[in-house]
Structure 1
């Protein structure tokens, strides 16, 4: 299929993705995301906390799941999540990525790198959510007034900036349809409405959850987007 190139050095083969193939490969990555986003999210949470109880993990997943479900057409309803999370946790333990001790999920140091690679699958999605929740927290009335698409527009603007500054080579990262879907989900979940301001305490709580799951440099870029406002 000529998607990769192979170079050799004295140590062994090096698999290289040519620059002209990078954007096309995001299509395949997106297909994989549909299958692996939940275990990727779990891996990101466990990696950040080092160890976490099933109940707290479930709380975190439950907050973010409606957005993931809408964006990636996930098939489970919210009331099915506990069984799904339990099954995934058991499988991650079987593969040696985590250990389960006294109803807590712990990183397995011997396979921490693999767990980090799994977590990376959800990274850009979480970054996009963080952008929107930060903007909503910084300006709770952003969705009111004559331009009700302002939250979506500003989210895309920050996402484009993030993609340039942090080398995110994926057009869907700032795709209009993705942010439109996210804003609709936020309305369905009660975070925003056309008649009232968002509740900053609630949106900031979600942002802080997301901020723990993204790198500090990305977080700084997101938060600097509103400096000088107000």
Structure 2
């Protein structure tokens, strides 16, 4: 992973246009090809970003950059769409790279605990909550970019990938979208559709999921605990 702190100007063009005026920001360039632009506020959310697959080309400043004190231009192009993120580097304050993951460079993945892990176990046992005729293929179905929470088959035999969250937001939908893109490359599984399941789903996440053909499912954790293994429980 490469971490660059620089005075920069950011321009995005694609489904919409966006502009970040010149300021000091953190640029995160990941080994998967993605780039994220962070400020010192806004919590964990980047100001702008480009998801993989994308290509990053470093260019010399052109005539259009005259008088803007631009040292170099990063052009980040999405491989599958016409989206382009242009980063104008004015001054680099820090530029460091680190190898992450284990000895092989692989990310070991998220180890879930608490309610989210319990939701996964309960939904696997009560797979019919996804719909009549569903059957479980397996929990934690491993892919090259991490484990899919649940992989199942619907009544017609088609594969369904399920992403589980306590609170479903846009990041969760993006995560499921990446899994679906990868799973649909497997001829033994494709076509694979997605289900985004959570105790609470934010309106923006629901809208994004629906636009991408992903079904949303609200889960009642307490009700699921009460019917675990078919036996009602008091606690």
* Alignment TM-score > 0.5, same fold: no
Question: By percentage of residues, which structure has more strand?
Answer: 2
Which of 1 and 2 has higher RCO (CA within 8 Å, sep 6+)?
1
Name the TM-score class by shorter chain: under 0.3
Q: TM-score, normalization: structure 1?
A: 0.27
- Report which of the two structures shows the higher radius of gyration computed on alpha carbons: 2
Q: TM-score, normalization: structure 2?
A: 0.26
